[in-house]
Amino acid sequence: MGSRANAGLSLRKSIARHYDSLALLYRTFWGEHIHHGLWLADDVPPRIAQEQLVAHLAERAGVSGAERVLDVGCGYGAPARWLANQRDCRVTGVTISGAQARLARRYNARSGCDERVDIVHADAAALPVRCGTVDVVWVIECLEHLEDKRSFVEETARILRPGGRFALCTWQRGDAVPESEPLIQGVCEAFLCPSLASAEEYRAWCDCAGLKVSCSEDLTPQVRATWDILLERTRRPWVAPLRWLLDHEVRRFVDGFTTIALAYASGVMSYGLLVASKP
């Protein structure tokens, strides 16, 4: 195996370990949805704002009743359960974390949607899915972790049926911002992302793969309150002493909350939504 392949494998192991070992931290600080919230014209609690992000992506992607959705990087399955409960979809969620997969199955059973939501413990870079069998490839905040985002978009085009949609929410590098930008590097290191792609790159990869982009939005102003809330939570008096119990990687992750807030504020990073369909 070449050194690049080795580095990729070791990164994927670190990502799996991160989500395996931080399950409690994630659920305590942010709940079952592990993605940004979307604050529209209202001041709602984070949990509602997170559901608003899911609802917004579903609306933009035209997810209607009873579609077959592949949720790549499904976390604890909260968006998948939303799609099953609110849109009557049949969802297969994929996560690289074994601990997440077990918890997601437990939450599915508890909420009575285990017949409509399957969880698979697998790598998004090697999806065992037949050509043209999926109505919607749904990805919220997972592509950041993949080394070869372009190949993922090509694979998406292969597995979608004609008329199927690619629905993506993702952390992005500004279009003219180099990968070497220090805040981008800081975010990538703290959150185990080999790179962040720009909105322009995603659009170009869709184009090349034969997917027609129907929607590309910058949601940064509506999502960035996420980090103010998380930073406020990490500064609570009972949390500060716990910091010294955390290992280096987890401390770097928590320190990354400040870095990402700065990256949004300075405009080097944005939060994008993209929908593209297969003709």
Ligand X SMILES: C[S@@+](CC[C@H](N)C(=O)[O-])C[C@H]1O[C@@H](n2cnc3c(N)ncnc32)[C@H](O)[C@@H]1O
Contact residues: ligand X, CB under 6 A: 12, 15, 19, 33-35, 73-75, 78-79, 94-97, 100, 123-125, 140-142, 145-146
Nearer to ligand X, 34 or 223 (CB): 34
Report, in Å, the least distance between residue 239 CB and ligand X: 21
How many whole angstroms separate alpha carbon 57 and alpha carbon 89? 14
Q: List 172's β-bridge partners, or say none.
A: 270
> Reduced to 3 states, what is the DSSP secondary structure of residue 139?
strand
Nearer to ligand X, 163 or 220 (CB): 220
Q: List 169's β-bridge partners, or say none.
A: 140, 273
Report, in Å, the least distance between residue 95 CB and ligand X: 4
Q: Which helix (H) or strand (E) holds 276?
A: strand 269-277
Taking CA atoms, 193 is separated from 14, 65, 142, 184, in Å, by: 11, 34, 9, 10
Nearer to ligand X, 97 or 156 (CB): 97
Residue 262: CB atoms within 10 A of its CB come to 16
Nearer to ligand X, 34 or 188 (CB): 34
Report, in Å, the least distance between residue 138 CB and ligand X: 8
Report, in Å, the least distance between residue 151 CB and ligand X: 12
Radius of gyration of the chain measured on its C-alpha atoms: 18
Nearer to ligand X, 137 or 244 (CB): 137
Report, in Å, the least distance between residue 279 CB and ligand X: 27
